[in-house]
Amino acid sequence: MQDSFAITFRFARVDEIDVVRAIEYEAAQRFATIGMTGIADAQPMNADFVRRKIEACEIIVAANDAARSVAFVMFAPLVGRFYIEELDVLTGWAGRRIGAELIGQVEVLARQAGARQLVLSTFRDVPWNAPYYRRLGFSVIANDRLDAKLRAIRDAHVARGLDESKRVFMCREVVGRA
């Protein structure tokens, strides 16, 4: 258990590329506990990709009292919505609503940009995936309702080897939109 409970949120810095990759890798190990070793064994995101996302201000980290990043959310602004690409929390920091707060940070940016929805793609039956997002107000988008952009994201997932038959797209309206 961690001693420090105060969390602050900020955009990731370029000197945190390896930190973001390490959080992703450690969080993925949880998938091994449910037999999804392919996810657990995967290499972390490419460092150049992470750098580009950081430089674009598209990664927000959650840092503890010691200014150590313990979680992150990566997102992409799309027309009329923000797509949450990845959300990872170090196992020792899970269960403290850090993920929900990170999504809230993205929602603030989406609202400021005039976006109407947050969208994500996740595993349907993994307890800390679709069931978690459902508790946060996300609902499943039927496959026949996916627009061209979301179908392209799905195709990119398939190209990376993800089993899209086990995944769903979900959305939530941006609260307090002007």
Sketch out the chain's domains with CATH numbers: 8-173 (3.40.630.30)
Question: What own/partner pairs with CB < 8 Å and gap ≥ 24 does 160-165 have?
Answer: 161/38
Question: Over the chain (178 residues), what is each successive 10-residue block's mean pLDDT?
Answer: 70 97 92 79 90 98 90 96 96 92 97 96 89 95 93 90 88 82
For residue 177, the model assigns a pLDDT of 56
pLDDT of residue 2: 43
Instruction: Report the candidate in 10, 19, 9 with the shortest Cα–Cα distance to residue 44.
Output: 19
Sign of the torsion formed by the C-alpha atoms of 30, 22, 122 and 174: positive
pLDDT of residue 137: 96
Alpha-carbon gap, residue 12 to 3, rounded angstroms: 23
Report the DSSP beta bridge partners of residue 172. 118
The pLDDT of residue 134: 95
- Percent share of the chain, pLDDT over 90: 70
Instruction: Give this prediction's pTM.
Output: 0.91
Distance CA 10, CA 119 (A): 21
